[in-house]
Amino acid sequence: ISGEPITAELNKMPHLLVAGSTGSGKSVCINGIITSILLNAKPHEVKLMMIDPKMVELNVYNGIPHLLTPVVTNPHKAAQALEKVVAEMERRYDLFQHSGTRNIEGYNDFITRKNKELEEKEALLPYIVVIVDELADLMMVAGKDVETAITRITQMARAAGIHLIIATQRPSVDVITGLIKNNIPSRIAFAVSSQTDSRTIIDSGGAEKLLGKGDMLFIKNGGSTRTRVQGAFLSDQEVQTIVDYVVAQQKANYVKEMEPDAVTEGSTASESDDPLYKEAYLFVLEQQKASTSLLQRQFRIGYNRASRIMDDLERNQVIGPQKGSKPRQILVDLNGGEV
């Protein structure tokens, strides 16, 4: 606020939680971090994995050479993508073990010396930054898998050179769980609507008094001091200009092993032994609601059979899990795509 630039190194954080209500500046902050990486690091030094269930925030970055995979927009694939990052982390720890090193810096020094001595050209390990924009959408669809993967990454991935940036505009305890929060020491809170939301993000009030438009409270690496910072503004046009510049230098070269497996659209309509399943699937999509009693009335079948069809629909990720007396969430629209 005093006009001095505030900078922080991501590898020292080593993970970052960004939260704030709509219009508070959260997405502009994420764009600022990404473009800073694009302008300061070469594609072989830093790789990015972007997960964007909202489909609009990060799609502009498709095609940049720093990406490991195309931007992941399917929430079911997002859980797989995070699991692939966990697998890459474990692979790196195996490399460290066999080379007698302890972290990515030591391993890359070891490879550099080895290349020099043996005149080889073995590639160095790049840093990996995983960016999740809108954690709430992932937690709704695959909460347990996402939470487990994020916890493993935040607990162990620092030495492997893997860093996580998580953003959400719904800072409630069912989205930012205690397990996730405890393992992410660096946090940015933008303007939120209540003191409760502020406490969820930074363990104290204050964020509810911020003015919006990039006004933030920054906690660095689990410290007790909160720094009030005005975030830098970056227009959509400036982001596009930087992306065009980077893409002109080098095209994207995606890593096949890191791409999440395809979730086939047709599978949701056919994965059941019950001959009524396909009709029930189409009926649920048309009505955009589902319950055992609804299937019983529509198809004139018994409770047990209707219940089995509901289980199949849930297993095939057409409907969400049962949550008390609340109606089931429909995860697929009439065209077979995710809602």
Pairwise CA distance, residues 307 & 298, whole Å:
13
Compute the chain's Rg from CA coordinates: 23
With CA atoms as reference, report the closest residue to 280 among 263, 259, 301. Answer: 301
With CA atoms as reference, report the closest residue to 88 among 158, 145, 157, 154. Answer: 157
Q: Is 272 a known ligand-binding residue?
A: no
Q: Strands 16-19 and 162-168: what pairing?
A: parallel
Pairwise CA distance, residues 131 & 128, whole Å:
10
33 contacts: CB under 8 Å, gap ≥ 6: 10, 16, 131, 165
Q: Is 278 a known ligand-binding residue?
A: no
Q: Which residue has the tokens 């939260």?
A: 19
153-181 as b/e, with b when 16 or more CB fall inside 10 Å?
bbeebbbbbbbbbbbbbbbeeebbbeebb
Q: Is 20 a known ligand-binding residue?
A: yes
With CA atoms as reference, report the closest residue to 92 among 65, 115, 112, 111. Answer: 111
Burial of 115 (0-12, 13-18, 19+ CB in 10 A): middle
Q: Is 21 a known ligand-binding residue?
A: yes
Pairwise CA distance, residues 31 & 48, whole Å:
13
Task: Determine what percent of the chain falls in helix, strand and coil, rounding each to the nearest 5.
Answer: 45, 15, 40
Q: Is 214 a known ligand-binding residue?
A: no
Q: Is 293 a known ligand-binding residue?
A: no
List the binding residues: 20-27
Known binding positions for ATP: 20-27
